Amino acid sequence: MAFSYWESNAWLEDVDLMVVGAGIVGLSAALHARSLHPAWRIVVVDTDPFGGGGSSRNAGFSCFGSATELQHDRESLGDEAALELVRKRWQGLQRLRSTFGDAALGHRVCGSVELFPTAGSESLPSAQALADLNRWIQPVTGAADTFAKIRARTLPHLGSDLGESAILSRLEGLLDTGKMNRAFKSLAHTQSIDILTGIRVESVDTRKEACQLQISTLSRKATSVDVPRILVATNALGAQLIPQLDVQPAINHVLVTERMNGFDFPHAVHIDAGYVYARPIEDRMLIGGGRHWALDERATLNKLQGLLHELWPVTKETAVAYHWSGQLGVGEMRSPLVQRFAPNAVAAVRLGGMGVAIGMEVGKLAVEELMTN
C-alpha cells in the first residue's frame, strides 16, 4: 500500500524541520527549535509508539555521576573536559526540572549511595581522593561536600557482604520515566509539534540541496520525503542511518521485583562505577546494567539477581515482576556526539548511560549547531 495524497499532504509536505527519533534528545530539539521558530512546521518521526530507545526504558536516575564513575571520566577525558561533561549533565537536569516541574516528572532529590560490595570492581576512594573530587566538582554543583562517606550499615535493609563505608551523593535523585515521557509528548503537542510514530526512516540522502528521506511504515511501501533540514536523534542506532557516526548499541538489562510489604529504601544506588544501578520504585526494587561483565543475557540476569539478593536479602522472598532490556548509545569517547554531517543535517547521538540528565542540553546544542548554517 502506498501513502495517500492526504497522508503525504497533511503530514509530510512543507516541513521545515524533520527530527528522526522521539526520545529525550529528539523531543528536546524539537521544543528548542519551536522556541526559536514559532511558525515552523516541525515533525518528529519514530518507528516505535513509545519511543523504542533508552528514553522509555531507562532506570529513571537523575544523576551526574557516582564518585568512581567521575574518576573514570577524569582519567579518560582529562579534568577540564570531564568537568565540562558534568556541567552539561547538571545543566540538562536543571533544564528538565524547570521545563516540566518535579511533580510532572515524579522527580525527587533523594540522594544516591555508591556501594562497594566485596566482589565489586571498584574500591572505596581514599579520604584524600574524595576531598579532591569535591574540590573539582564544586564549580558545577556549588556544594563543598557533593560526596560524603557514610557508614553502609546505617542504610536500611542492606545485607552484610558490604564494606564499612558507602559514598552519599545528596544532590542526585530519581524520577518516573513514564511520567517524563508523557510530559515531553504533552508539551510537544501543545507546541504544535507533530509526533508521527510507526514511521521508520530507511535512509537519508543529503547530496542535493534538500535532504531526501526514504520512509516506510508497517503497511506502506517506502516513499521519499524532501525536507530542508533534518536532525537525527536515533542515539544507539545512529550509525545505521549515518555510517560515519562513532556510536554503537550496548544492551542493558533491567529487573524489577514484585511489591514487598514494608520495603522502603531511601536512595538511588550505584555499584561498579555506574555499570550496575539499583533503585526503589515505591516498595519494589529495580536493578540493572552489568554490561562490563561481558556475559550473555542469561548469565547477566543471573548475576544481577544474585547481587540483588546479596545486597537486599529481603528480595530473596520475592519474584521478578518485570524484565526488559534497552540500548545505550556508546562509542570511543565517553561524551555525547553532536555532529554536522551535511550543510543542513546534524546528528545528536551517543548519550551513554546518563541521557536523562544530559539529553535536554544535547537537544538544544544540536539545534544551535543546525542553525549556525
Ligand X SMILES: Cc1cc2nc3c(=O)[nH]c(=O)nc-3n(C[C@H](O)[C@H](O)[C@H](O)COP(=O)(O)OP(=O)(O)OC[C@H]3O[C@@H](n4cnc5c(N)ncnc54)[C@H](O)[C@@H]3O)c2cc1C
User: Applying CB under 6 A, which residues contact ligand X?
Assistant: 20-26, 45-48, 51-55, 57-61, 63, 200-201, 233-237, 241, 252, 254, 288, 326-328, 351, 353-357, 359
Specify whether the CB–CB gap between 71 and 129 falls below 8 A.
yes
Return the number of the residue (120 or 326) whose C-beta is nearest ligand X.
326
Output the smallest distance, CB 47 to ligand X, in A: 4
Return the number of the residue (120 or 352) whose C-beta is nearest ligand X.
352
SS3 of residue 347 by DSSP: strand
Output the smallest distance, CB 39 to ligand X, in A: 25
Output the smallest distance, CB 73 to ligand X, in A: 14
Per DSSP, what are the bridge partners of residue 287?
Answer: 255, 278
Output the smallest distance, CB 30 to ligand X, in A: 11
SS3 of residue 203 by DSSP: strand
Tell me the helix, strand and coil percentages in the chain, rounded to 5. 40, 25, 35
Return the number of the residue (52 or 331) whose C-beta is nearest ligand X.
52
Q: What is the C-alpha R_g of the chain? A: 21
Output the smallest distance, CB 161 to ligand X, in A: 24
Mutual angle of helices 67-77 and 79-100, in 10-degree steps: 130
CA–CA separation, 195 and 188 (whole Å)? 8
Output the smallest distance, CB 25 to ligand X, in A: 3
Output the smallest distance, CB 94 to ligand X, in A: 14
Return the number of the residue (24 or 304) whose C-beta is nearest ligand X.
24
Return the number of the residue (152 or 360) whose C-beta is nearest ligand X.
360
Return the number of the residue (241 or 346) whose C-beta is nearest ligand X.
241
Specify whether the CB–CB gap between 315 and 285 falls below 8 A.
yes
Largest CA distance in the chain: 68
Output the smallest distance, CB 27 to ligand X, in A: 7
Return the number of the residue (164 or 215) whose C-beta is nearest ligand X.
215
Long-range CB contacts (< 8 A, 24+ apart) of 149-156?
Answer: 149/124, 150/113, 152/115, 152/116, 155/113, 155/265, 155/266, 155/267, 156/264, 156/265, 156/266
Provide the 8-state DSSP code for 296: -
CA–CA separation, 290 and 272 (whole Å)? 9
Q: The sheet that has 320-330: what strands, in order across it?
A: 147-151, 165-169, 112-114, 268-271, 276-281, 284-289, 248-257, 320-330
Return the number of the residue (44 or 130) whose C-beta is nearest ligand X.
44
